[in-house]
Structure 1
Amino acid sequence: MKEEKVPFETMEFSGVTFKVINRHEAHTIIGDLTDFQDQKIYNVFEDTWRFPDYEENPIFLLAEDDVEMDSFEMDFSTHEHEDVFILGFIFKGNLNVTKLISSFDTDNSPALIVLGKTTTVNINLFGNVHYLGGGLQCDTLAGEYNHGELFVKGDLKAWLVYTDDMLFHFERFTDVQAIISAGRPDILICSNVQDTDGSIITVENYFPSTHKLSDIVDEGFIELSDYGTETLGNNYLEVFKEGLSILDYDKKDKYMYTDFRNQFLNMIEVLSETDELKENEKIVRHVSGTTDLFIYFDYEGKKYSQISKEIGNGFGIRTRALWCHDDQEIMLILEYLNENGDPKYQWINDENAPGIEMFCVKHAAIDTFDKLMSLEKNEEDEEDDDDDTEYAEYDNSFSLEEFSAQFGNYKLPEDLIKLYKFDQEYGSETYSECFGLTITEDKTGIKTWSEEEEFYNSFIEFAGANGSGSSYAYWLIDKDLNNCPIVVFGDEGGIHVVAENTRRLIHLLTLDTEISVDFDYAYFYKDDEYYEENENMSEFHEWVKNEFNLDALETNEEADEIVNQAKSKYKQRLNEFLTKFDIEIGEDEDE
């Protein structure tokens, strides 16, 4: 790339005078920064949404000395210089911000790169890959959406680290009170462990949540998702901007687990009295790749009760909380498992041991207890294999009756019922990347396209399509859903025909890669260099072969053929339908 010229030497932002530099100068400063796998983090010449080259006057802003600010809310330009495009802010020294450090937008933001120590009250990041090389000290660190990623080297000191679908990488937790991922684990921490030859190696592992938000955050900032998951609401940013805290320090008994012993013994007592335990000698739930278990056993002449949680889907994390009836002691274990399910390394201690590793075990025990008690087995579970029971319950988050309610008077296709049963047995997102059946009855997402009843009643959403929020839906052009094509609603634009029917969609899922949805087109693309097989992919392929006599797709071209067949049959008709409601139609790449 030809070296870009800078429009001027210095520029003021948030009351600080920065040196204006181009990509080549930025590359000399940040080009060799690495993650915890010794892979380089930044390529400022990559021409992606992170560092695009289609904007006029692209620049980096550089602070060569320590910087102090009241607030630092990143933006791509300023009122004084609206004609520039700020790709990132680079601080060679320390960054001290009194109130808030914040990105610009969840989709896109300038990158934040600090080589020294970062200190603030609240820090809210997303929209790019950010790097804090000299440690971070704050009250609350929050991140959201998968267009962002954060690397923190050095010490992390924070009351709360919260992420909602954004990856955080940390070198070490020096003084951290609570780690919370809104969904799957999105936080990674480096640990020094002993290798098989006795040498000490550094490994990076996903770290499970240590609390619920309500254990440490003021209730006024918490919202509940449709599935009961606690997330931060939209009102916390105004508090962040004032440099105030969203934390409730009066909840110390909760976030310090001061009464865990009594709480744990009560959980053991309640679970031990259930009919399910007495009948089966264990209580177990498999939900979306996670296994929650209560069991009792004898070991070396002593009796134990154990509450455990195992997070699959490639994470390989298991937490175990054990009560020894003979010694009256509690043992807490955090384990990371190999591909065979055996521990690679583990942390073991008693209930009074310091360290956030034991907090995540305590949280998992409480969460598992709640799930075991709230998902009590229905008698129909014992008849799962009975063909006369059309609507059997499964050990998962919703029954077939609950799932079918969103279809109204439409009868579920037999192929979809079969897929439902497989999904419930093995767990969503465990057999085809980012795919899972969902319940969506209010049509909130579809109504964002058009509020006209004819439009939103012409679709039934039934599954998540990818990791960024796209969804699959039946387009209701026939009273029989077997004759209705599958469309995808893109989370960032675009409504496209994907498959002629349910079975065609199931065949597409065997490629084991999420669908990419743009305004102009939707497609499946598996990059062999970065592909990681889902844990239940083989079982899914075998199931598809047995049920439908279909071989798993092996190439992107095979997937294109299925999508193109659906497009040739329904695309023009769909476009004409969308145009009726003034929905803009993209230009397909093959037109």
Structure 2
Amino acid sequence: MSNDFQFLPISQVAGKFPENTWWSKFYKDFNDENLVAYYEGDLTLPFLNLDWDMPFPQQEGVIIVFINGSLTVDNLYNQETDGAIALIVTGNLSAKNIAVGGQEVYVAGDLSVEEILCGSYNHGEMIVEGNLNAKVLVQDGEYRFKADGEQSIVCAVNVWDTDAVCQELPVDIRKVLIEDVFLDSEEEEIDFSFHTLVTVLEEGRSALLDWSEALQRKKAEHLYFTSNTINEENILKLTRSILMTDEQPYFDFEEHDAYFKVQREHIGDDGEQRNPSVYIKTAQHHYFIWLDDDHSVSLLMKSGDSEWEDIDEESSKPLAEYWLMLLTCVNAAELYLPNIEVKVVQDILQHPVIQELDPYGEENDGFWDGSKYYGFRRQAYTDEDGYCFAARIDIETPDGAFYFYTLDNNSYVSRHYQPPNHHVRQDMSFLDAKRWEASERYFDRFKDFIARKISVDGSSVRKS
């Protein structure tokens, strides 16, 4: 520990307290027996223990550590969260690990944490005027973090939940943190020990596991499309994919800057035969591909309001890119959509326990599972304006996002996503594999919870 600290009565440092700190307002509540360990300039330390019962350094009465500069420290921590030494850093704070509680930690610049940033209990707060960057944020739902700049957290752990959110994917927290920091329990809940975490840091050990394997997304064993040729086989496979429901003779969606519409063979409203076809609209062109009666494939294109014309070798190049995008999207649909079955969702929504909830999902409509919330619109209805609302299950994730699982057709369960702090649900991009993977992981956890909650047998809530 550096010997260059000055130990000053709190009144002598009062003029240096940053305006946004608690101390700038309440320092007068303390007398001059309460000392500030003051350091002028940038400082590097191997560790910093902020516990009251650890004199800093060899000095009784210190209630604040004040670094008038930047601080770099391997491990910053304290065991007692019912009150601890405060920390003020007027520059940047860089650490390998931070595990604190019971005091105000104020950083005027940026906070960067290489591994774990942990705040515990409700007697503490961390204020960062700049950016906050940490690999893993561990919190118990009571400790407060405030950052005025951008926040970058790779993995967020709420100790009251069994799941962390790592790169937007739910991951069992026991695959993120070492076994030592969890208490033995016969209950299904996972008991996290803040004090053990601090002990691990005091011993110079890392409390992190390599969770890269837990982030691995599923890979298709068999691709629906095995070639990207524009031919009869692929056109027919498009019309027979899971996206083609019985309710209408086509499916359509938007992906990036393109609109796609696939139409199966059917009789139109005018009584005329419609052959299988694909329509693609991009920012520059319209493309129309259809299957002739003789099984040959015809292709046309146009720009804006111009006339349709045949596609030559040069104009076929951008079409090939969008055709590949279409096949890739349908491959993704075939990979993910069958995994959540319509029958499973129907059985859950029809269970007596769910039927007791508000039918329209407006109040008394769900259950908490740690920091996840499950809501139900258990039956479809039409409002007074004639707008139809389909039955669905909603999952609110620990980071405030929503996933929606909707029964709006008989072929598959439609899925939508709503980002944190947004109020409108969005279509899920077929090219966003992480989003689809997350939607399945959250639904698997939901099924496990609901099976315990309502004791549904295996035929009602079965593994998809």
TM norm structure 2: 0.55
Q: Deviations over 1:101-148 (max 9, x none)?
A: 013521111101122221111111111121122222220011212221
Q: 1:179 aligns with which of 156, 159, 176?
A: 156
Identify if the C-alpha distance between structure 1 residues 237 and 84 changes in structure 2 by more than 3 Å, giving closer, same or farther: closer
Q: 2:200 aligns with which of 235, 239, 244?
A: 239
Aligned equivalents of 1:131, 1:266: Cα separation in 2: 50
2:395 touches 2:404 (CA, 8 Å); kept in 1? no
Q: How far does residue 81 in structure 1 lie from its aligned partner after superposition?
A: 7.4
Number of the residue aligned with 1:147: 123
Number of the residue aligned with 1:390: none
Aligned equivalents of 2:122, 2:2: Cα separation in 1: 31
1:213 and 2:213 aligned:
no
1:271 touches 1:277 (CA, 8 Å); kept in 2? no
Number of the residue aligned with 1:286: 367
Identify if the C-alpha distance between structure 1 residues 270 and 68 changes in structure 2 by more than 3 Å, giving closer, same or farther: farther
Aligned equivalents of 2:169, 2:91: Cα separation in 1: 28
1:295 touches 1:305 (CA, 8 Å); kept in 2? yes
Q: Supply the AA of the counterpart residue of 2:196.
A: N
Q: Superposed, which structure 2 residues align to 1:117-516 within 5 Å?
A: 117-138=92-113, 139-164=115-140, 165-172=142-149, 174-183=151-160, 211-223=171-183, 228-233=188-193, 234-249=195-210, 251-254=211-214, 256=215, 258-259=217-218, 268-269=340-341, 272=344, 275-278=347-350, 285-287=366-368, 291-293=373-375, 306-309=392-395, 319-322=402-405, 330-336=415-421, 343=423, 350=429, 365-376=443-454
**Structure 1 range deviating more: 327-336 or 58-67:** 327-336
1:334 touches 1:358 (CA, 8 Å); kept in 2? no
Q: How far does residue 209 in structure 1 lie from its aligned partner after superposition?
A: 10
Q: How far does residue 272 in structure 1 lie from its aligned partner after superposition?
A: 1.7
Which consecutive unaligned segments of at least 5 residues does structure 1 have?
1-13, 35-39, 185-207, 338-342, 380-591
Q: Deviations over 1:497-532 (max 9, x none)?
A: xxxxxxxxxxxxxxxxxxxxxxxxxxxxxxxxxxxx
Q: How far does residue 232 in structure 1 lie from its aligned partner after superposition?
A: 2.7
**Structure 1 range deviating more: 101-110 or 363-372:** 363-372
Aligned equivalents of 1:303, 1:347: Cα separation in 2: 16
Q: How far does residue 298 in structure 1 lie from its aligned partner after superposition?
A: 9.9
Identify if the C-alpha distance between structure 1 residues 347 and 110 changes in structure 2 by more than 3 Å, giving closer, same or farther: farther
Q: Deviations over 1:374-416 (max 9, x none)?
A: 212589xxxxxxxxxxxxxxxxxxxxxxxxxxxxxxxxxxxxx
Aligned equivalents of 1:127, 1:282: Cα separation in 2: 42
Identify if the C-alpha distance between structure 1 residues 353 and 43 changes in structure 2 by more than 3 Å, giving closer, same or farther: farther
1:321 touches 1:330 (CA, 8 Å); kept in 2? yes
Aligned equivalents of 1:145, 1:109: Cα separation in 2: 12
Q: How far does residue 153 in structure 1 lie from its aligned partner after superposition?
A: 2.9
Greater RCO between the two (CA within 8 Å, min separation 6)? 2
1:23 touches 1:59 (CA, 8 Å); kept in 2? yes
Aligned equivalents of 2:426, 2:39: Cα separation in 1: 42
Q: How far does residue 350 in structure 1 lie from its aligned partner after superposition?
A: 4.3
Aligned equivalents of 2:441, 2:14: Cα separation in 1: 43
2:80 touches 2:102 (CA, 8 Å); kept in 1? yes
Q: How far does residue 360 in structure 1 lie from its aligned partner after superposition?
A: 8.8
Q: Deviations over 1:258-294 (max 9, x none)?
A: 2498997577338726634346796764349975135
Q: How far does residue 156 in structure 1 lie from its aligned partner after superposition?
A: 2.1
1:336 touches 1:346 (CA, 8 Å); kept in 2? no
1:114 and 2:192 aligned:
no
Q: How far does residue 31 in structure 1 lie from its aligned partner after superposition?
A: 4.4
Aligned equivalents of 1:29, 1:303: Cα separation in 2: 59
CA RMSD in angstroms, aligned pairs only = 4.8
Identify if the C-alpha distance between structure 1 residues 240 and 265 changes in structure 2 by more than 3 Å, giving closer, same or farther: farther
Identify if the C-alpha distance between structure 1 residues 220 and 169 changes in structure 2 by more than 3 Å, giving closer, same or farther: same
Larger radius of gyration: 2
What SS does structure 2 have at the residue aligned with 1:43?
helix
Q: Supply the AA of the counterpart residue of 1:28.
A: G
2:79 touches 2:198 (CA, 8 Å); kept in 1? no
Which consecutive unaligned segments of at least 5 residues does structure 2 have?
162-167, 220-331, 356-364, 458-464
Aligned equivalents of 2:389, 2:100: Cα separation in 1: 48
Q: How far does residue 307 in structure 1 lie from its aligned partner after superposition?
A: 4.0
Identity, % of aligned positions: 16
